[in-house]
Amino acid sequence: MWTLGPSDLVLVWISRFAVGMSLAGIYPMGMKMIVERAQAKSSQALAWLVAMLTLGTAMPQFLSAVGAALPWQSIIWGSSALAVLGAGLIAAISHRGTATSGREKKPADATAPPRPESTRPASPAVAEGPALRRLFSDRMFRAAVFGYVGHMWELYAFWAVVPTLVIAALSHPGSPTALATTSFLVIASGVLGCVAGGIISRRTGSAKVAATALAGSGLMCLIYPLLPEVGPLLIAALALWGLLVIADSPQFSELAARHAPAELTGTGLTAMNSFGFAVSVISIVILQSLIATIGVSAVWLLLPGPVLGLIAMRPLLIRRRAPRTDPDE
């Protein structure tokens, strides 16, 4: 809207604020829809959802590459058109109902496995308390949320500086088209990470996939500034980092949804996203300021996110052993 009229800084900031609010509201509701429909396959389904989110994040770079000769407003118009198309698709499928409602009509011996429920009993006071208190009283839910917060400290700040890192990696980046194309490929590599993580999670579980991806992206964050200044090597490292940095996101969402009470799934996912986006704003602002001052080594600012995230999610990785029974009893 603000691209169609005369430049007005106030309108620009209002529009950006409205877009940010709308984007933040879409994600948790989209995850809730996926969890309700996919049920036992939610980890793989969420992986596809986040893969498409990643592709959407990379699309402005793609539009910039293919429309380099067009006015800059065309990037905004193209992105807006894709958003409207997505809204239409959601409206078209939303009336079909959920897997939950359909399964409630099946007989009791239906073969589809239900979504795992938390086995930790809640006290009556907690079960009837405020929603956030009920959610965060579960140790596993807390572990998923705070692991996700560590992941989010790194994710969006990394995406925000990808073009800057590409320029630094290529001493002669060439045309704006080459810069936009390379940035698109680095961010879009996360699609493969999400899809592969979803497939692997069906065998190993979401927690192991999330921990592996988080550790991998943290390792890339640590070693990237230490790599030799060889353009192709740095671009390959950025692509690997882009693959790992988002692969854990759908698995954290699945873990949070699994350990939240069924009636509070949407609330739990929204709370998790709220915390994640809040820390993202801080890391983006700090990293963009530092990278302009001290260069590529500023990415070490992101390292505490994966480290603290791995520490926070330890309860999800430690399996409780069943008590041994004495055969003589």
- Is 325 domain-assigned? no
- Output 24 or 270, whichever has higher pLDDT: 270
28-31 own/partner pairs: CB under 8 Å, 24+ apart: 28/266, 28/269, 28/270, 28/272, 28/273, 29/266, 29/270, 30/90, 31/253, 31/257, 31/269
- Is 218 domain-assigned? yes
- Is 296 domain-assigned? yes
pLDDT of the residue at 6: 65
pLDDT band at 322 (very low <50, low <70, confident <90, very high): very low
How does pLDDT run across 119-145, given as a tens digit for each residue? 444 444 444 568 888 999 999 999 999
Give percent above pLDDT 70 in the chain.
Answer: 81
d(CA 158, CA 136) in angstroms, rounded, equals 29
Mean pLDDT in the chain? 83
CA torsion 296→300→306→310, rounded to 10°? Answer: 150
d(CA 312, CA 147) in angstroms, rounded, equals 5
How does pLDDT run across 61-108, given as a tens digit for each residue? 888 888 767 777 777 788 788 888 888 887 887 766 554 444 343 333
> 43-57, 86-100, 248-262, 288-302: which has the minimum mean pLDDT?
86-100
- Is 114 domain-assigned? no
pLDDT of the residue at 265: 86
Residue 132 sits in a domain of what CATH number? Answer: 1.20.1250.20
Write out the two tokens for 255. Answer: 């873990």
CA 149 to chain centre: 10
**Beta-carbon contacts of residue 274 (< 8 Å; ≥ 6 apart):** 24
What is the domain range of residue 278? 9-97+127-317
- Is 115 domain-assigned? no
Q: How many structural domains is the chain composed of?
A: 1
pLDDT of the residue at 170: 84
- Is 324 domain-assigned? no
What are the CA-CA distances from residue 300 to residues 87, 203, 207, 283 (Å)? 38, 33, 25, 11
